[in-house]
Structure 1
Amino acid sequence: MSEETKAFTLQTASFDARFPNQNQTKHCWQNYVDYYKCINAKGEEFTPCKQFFRAYHSLCPNEWVSIWPD
């Protein structure tokens, strides 16, 4: 291996407040998890749970949502 190859590492870019709409993966997943925690604790008709549902449906790619269990 050359010196150039050894020094190069791949990593995800850190959060940049100038671009708040980029890479919402963490927010997507957290809203999905919070929705299921909420409905398990309070039931599907509990209004605040619906906010988590709407949030993860708007943040997450449709391909992900379609394969996640309901």
Structure 2
Amino acid sequence: MEEDLKTRLENYRTAPFDARFPNQNQTRNCWSNYLDFHRCQKALEAKGVDSAPCEWYERVYKSICPGSWIQKWDDQREEGIFPGKI
């Protein structure tokens, strides 16, 4: 399993099709992957486990989301006013 994940990350080019978001508008896909990354990272770090499996979500949201949105959400998380549940 771990080898398969490493292979996927090495061969990653852009976000693959996700059946949960079949439409052209990928806003929800961006938001979901941003939240999934931070939830995954928080959960694995709390257990003291390496958070490398979370890199998939990070690569997906970084390839889909506009940089200004990511910066805004990161700033909001730092200030404690982020609207999402992580």
Please confirm whether the aligned pair reaches a TM-score higher than 0.5, indicating the same fold.
Answer: yes
CA shift for structure 1 position 54: 0.7
**What residue in structure 1 maps to residue 55 of structure 2?**
50
TM-score (norm 1): 0.62
CA distance in structure 2 between the aligned counterparts of 1:45 and 1:59, rounded to whole angstroms: 25
**What residue in structure 2 maps to residue 8 of structure 1?**
none
Alignment of 1:1-70 (within 5 A): 22-43=24-45, 45-69=50-74
CA shift for structure 1 position 45: 4.1
CA distance in structure 2 between the aligned counterparts of 1:24 and 1:41, rounded to whole angstroms: 26
- Note the residue ranges of structure 2 that are not aligned, 5 or more in a row: 1-21, 78-86
CA distance in structure 2 between the aligned counterparts of 1:68 and 1:34, rounded to whole angstroms: 14
More helix per residue: 2
- Note the residue ranges of structure 1 that are not aligned, 5 or more in a row: 1-19
Tell me the C-alpha RMSD between the 2 structures: 2.1
- Number of residue pairs aligned between Structure 1 and Structure 2: 51
Amino acid at match of 2:33: N
SS in 2 for 1:68: helix
TM-score (norm 2): 0.51
- Which entry has the higher C-alpha Rg, 1 or 2? 1
CA distance in structure 1 between the aligned counterparts of 2:57 and 2:44, rounded to whole angstroms: 13
Identity %: 43
CA shift for structure 1 position 21: 6.8
